[in-house]
Structure 1
Amino acid sequence: MVRTTYCAAFLLACMAISPLSTAGQAANDQGLYVGIFGGLGAATATSLQQQGAVYLRPPQKLPILPINAKGSTAISTSVALGGAHLGYEWNRLNLASNWGLRPAAELEGVYIGKHSPTGEMPVMPRFLGMQYVTVPTTAGVFLANAIFTLETPYSSKVFPYLGLGAGMAFVSIKGSDSANPSEPGINHFNSDPDASDSAFAMQIKAGIKGRITKNLRLFAEYRHLSIDATSYKFGATDYPGLHLPTATWHVNMGRQKYNLFVAGLQYKF
């Protein structure tokens, strides 16, 4: 996918090397378009917190030992993504000296593939050492975007654009693991390692697109996607005879931020 993104950028640069034309020649009628895309990127580090309690005298639930582990994930985690959008582009708004602006609105769906950030989290009370929590994560993001495409007097084929979007993200964690070096072989979420949550999402994107034919466009862009903090409930630790029973575990993940490089095709009706 990295090669695809680079090839898209190279093709767009080649298309830009064309005879100068008037903005009128570059203009198309307003109308619907659809697009598909894919890309690669990275999730930046975020905070992670695990809270719960150990039952010290089973089967009674009292007294308890409260557990609070808090830290952050690795600096970055690689991700892959794919998606599609449906948009409507309006007629050109004339600016000055053959410059123009084309506004558009999009509905977009993005799928961020599985990535597994791991949090390194000191535990309170301190004598319990360090907790390492791995959360294999996928996300489906649904956004409404406003797009602004700039038409210049320099090319009738290649156009820069900027987009802003907002919507909802549905984040899923499957097969999570909470490990402590002092308890080898124990996953503290073993009775139910799956959970999900939803949160508000925003993105900004900037790129260039080029006309291949009258109706077909190639585009390459950078996106910064942000998903608000999420919370998850995982199952209690259940290892009879090996580990004291616990309450269910609550995990809080901070704001997730993604830097993404995307390439795709659009078809304008």
Structure 2
Amino acid sequence: MNNKFLMLAALALGTTSVSSLQAAEKTSRGLYLGIFGGGAVSNSNSFTQSGVAFKRTDHAPFYKENYDLFVDTKGQLGSKSATIGGLHIGYEWSEIPMGSNQSGWGLRPALEFEGFYLGSSQSGDLTNAQTERGIPLDGPYTGEHDLVPNQHSFTDSFNVDMGVLLTNGIFTFKTPWSNKIFPYIGGGIGAAITSLSKGNSIQTSNPLLPTGYEAGINHYNGNTNASSSSFAAQGKVGVRAELIDHLSIFAEYRYLHVSATNYTFGSTVYPTEHAETSNWDSHLGSMNFNTGIFGIEYGF
């Protein structure tokens, strides 16, 4: 009789322990995987274009004097929309109680590694803020070929394809009002690889030209693609809802910062229509994106 009683007590204790362990485990998802997509809007950011045009009498458009024109223009690229798609993998640790055990509040820290693609396009008008010097190869400098500020203008455009890799810290809040809906905040740092493609640079104003502008001449045509890498960081706030066991959906706002980058496009190559040039160096100012994201997660 005593043996049977001890066996029943042990079984009850074991069942209670397993139930308690399962309840404890539910305060943490452990390992999880997510996939997400959304949209973004960029800020207006700076862009520059600089290089040298080699004006020669034996080269189109057949100038009367051999000289080098040092081009240095800058301007602003307009705000544009962007698309985002990516995935992350993370681990959420056990809940840390906030306040008394009866408060119903808890904090669940997590670490995430994520990668996503951001695609957009940019365009803007550039002009020379300083006098551009036309330096003769023979004879004294006269300033005849100089372009005073705001005389030399370009309209530039290109596609932006960005890959972003980030390590995020996430803090999810358990509230007394729901065991299925969890608000969270987080942030992360990492790197962005940015590729500019289909670059197009049209000269829209130059008083040294007979027409005052150039139609159909892409100054990047020697190589219309360029790429660079830079630091990236983000902050985010969102809410996650558990649909069924292991499966959740989430929606969040992110503010993404990508540091300034430098690029080199190809030279202008139009043997019978345009003077030969050097490669074109460009500086793209830091980019900031306001983003809206929706995704789905699976906890293992």
- How many residues of Structure 1 are paired with residues of Structure 2 in the alignment? 243
For residue 44 of structure 1, report the CA deviation from its aligned partner. 1.2
Query: Which residue is 1:82 aligned to?
Result: 85
1:25/1:156 contact within 8 Å kept:
no
Larger Rg: 2
2:48/2:72 contact within 8 Å kept:
yes
2:37/2:85 contact within 8 Å kept:
yes
Query: Which residue is 1:19 aligned to?
Result: none
- Does 2:123 align with 1:118? yes
1:26/1:156 contact within 8 Å kept:
no
Q: Distance in 1 between matches of 2:229 and 2:161?
A: 12
2:127/2:150 contact within 8 Å kept:
no
- Please give the TM-score of this superposition, normalised by the length of structure 2: 0.78
- Does 2:261 align with 1:230? yes
In structure 2, which of residues 50, 65, 73 is the aligned counterpart of residue 69 of structure 1?
73
Aligned-residue CA RMSD in angstroms? 1.8
SS, match of residue 32 in structure 2: strand
Matches within 5 A, 1:84-99: 84-96=87-99, 97-99=103-105
For residue 241 of structure 1, report the CA deviation from its aligned partner. 1.7
SS, match of residue 214 in structure 2: coil
Relative to structure 1, the CA distance from residue 172 to residue 195 in structure 2 (aligned partners, 3 Å threshold; closer, same or farther) is same
- The one-letter code matched in structure 2 to 1:121 is L
1:43/1:77 contact within 8 Å kept:
yes
Which stretch shifts more, 41-50 or 139-148? 41-50
Q: Distance in 2 between matches of 1:58 and 1:148?
A: 67
Q: Distance in 1 between matches of 2:220 and 2:281?
A: 10
The gaps in structure 2 that reach 5 residues or longer are 1-22, 60-65, 133-146, 205-212
In structure 2, which of residues 102, 107, 114 is the aligned counterpart of residue 101 of structure 1?
107
Q: Distance in 2 between matches of 1:26 and 1:157?
A: 15
2:240/2:248 contact within 8 Å kept:
yes
In structure 2, which of residues 143, 151, 154 is the aligned counterpart of residue 131 of structure 1?
154
Query: Which residue is 1:193 aligned to?
Result: 224
Matches within 5 A, 1:1-269: 27-57=26-56, 63-74=67-78, 76-96=79-99, 97-113=103-119, 115-123=120-128, 124=132, 125=147, 126=149, 128-181=151-204, 182-269=213-300
Q: Distance in 2 between matches of 1:47 and 1:56?
A: 28
**Structure 1 stretches (4+) deviating beyond 2 angstroms?**
24-30, 57-60, 123-129
The gaps in structure 1 that reach 5 residues or longer are 1-23
- The one-letter code matched in structure 1 to 2:291 is L
- The one-letter code matched in structure 1 to 2:118 is I
